[in-house]
Structure 1
Amino acid sequence: MYVGQFKASQLVDRLEAAAKARQAAVARFRARPSAADPIVLARQSARRAVIQAREVRVNEREMARLAATAQHEAEALAAREREAAEAARQAAEKVERLAALAAEQKAARDARFAARKARARW
C-alpha cells in the first residue's frame, strides 16, 4: 500500500512543479519590457543598423561580382577579337603568298613559252 502513496505523491509533485513552471513563464512574460521601452528601441535600432550594414556588404559583393564578370567578358571578347584579327592577317598573308607563287609560276611558264617560241624561229 505504501507503493500507491508513493506514486500519488510523485504525481502531486510533478503537478506542482508544472504549475510553478507555468507561473514562472507567465512572470517572465509579464516582466518583459514594453515595445516603447528605450532599451527595446535601442536594441531594435542596433539590429536595423546591423541588417542595413549586412545589406550594404551583400550589395557591394554583388557589384564586385558583376564588375568581375563584366571584366572577364570584356577580356574574353578582346581575346576573341585578337584571334580573329590574327586569323584574318594570316589569311591575307596566305592569299599574298599564293598570288606571288601564281605570278612566279606564270612568269616561269611564260619564259618557257617564249624560249620555245624563240627556238622555233631559228
Structure 2
Amino acid sequence: MRNMRNNDLSDRRSSAADAKAALLQAYRAAKAAAEPTHLARQAERVAIAAAREERRAERERVKIEERERIRAEAEEREAAIAAAARAEIDAREAAEKNRISRVLEDEAARKAERDRRYANRKARQA
C-alpha cells in the first residue's frame, strides 16, 4: 500500500494555495531584502548613463571645434590664395602700365627726334 493518505480535491487545492502563498511571501521577502542593492545599482546605472552622455557631448563638442578649425583654415587658405591672385593681377597690370608708358615715352622721343631732324633740315635749306 503505497499512499495510505487519502487526498481529496479540497486538500490538494488548499496545499497548492498554501504553496503559492509561501512562494509569494518568499518573493516579497527577497524583494524587500534586495531593495537597497537594487537602489544602489539603479543609482550606479544613472551615474554611468550621465557619464556616458557627458563623454558623448564632449566628443561632439570636439568634433564641432575641429570642423570649425578646419573651416577657418580653409577660409584663411582661400583668402591667401585670393590675395596672392590679386597681387599677381596688380603686378601684371602695373607691368602693363609701365610697358605702355615706356612705349609712349619712346614714341614721344622718336617724334621729338624726327621733329628736330626736320627742323635742322629746314634750317639748312633756308
Q: Classify the TM-score, shorter chain.
A: 0.7 to 0.9
* Separation of aligned partners in 2, 1:17 and 1:79: 82
- Which residue is 1:32 aligned to? 26
Distance 1:17 1:99, change over 3 A: farther
Does residue 113 (structure 1) correspond to residue 108 (structure 2)? The answer is no
> Aligned letter for 2:55?
A
Normalised TM-score (structure 2) = 0.71
Structure 1, unaligned runs of 5 or more:
1-12
C-alpha deviation, 1:42, in angstroms: 4.0
**Greater displacement, 112-121 / 60-69:** 112-121
Q: CA deviation at 1:21?
A: 3.3
Following superposition, the deviation at residue 26 of structure 1 comes to 2.7
Pairs within 5 Å for 1:1-122: 19=13, 20-29=15-24, 31-32=25-26, 41-122=32-113
CA distance 1:73–1:18, change in 2 (3 Å):
farther
Aligned residues: 105
| Greater relative contact order (Cα < 8 A, sep 6+) | 1
Report the aligned-residue RMSD. 2.6
Mind listing any 5+ residue stretches in structure 2 that lack a counterpart? 1-6, 114-126
Instruction: Give the structure-1-normalised TM-score.
Output: 0.74
Identity %: 20
What is the alpha-carbon distance in structure 2 between the residues aligned to residue 93 and residue 17 of structure 1? 102
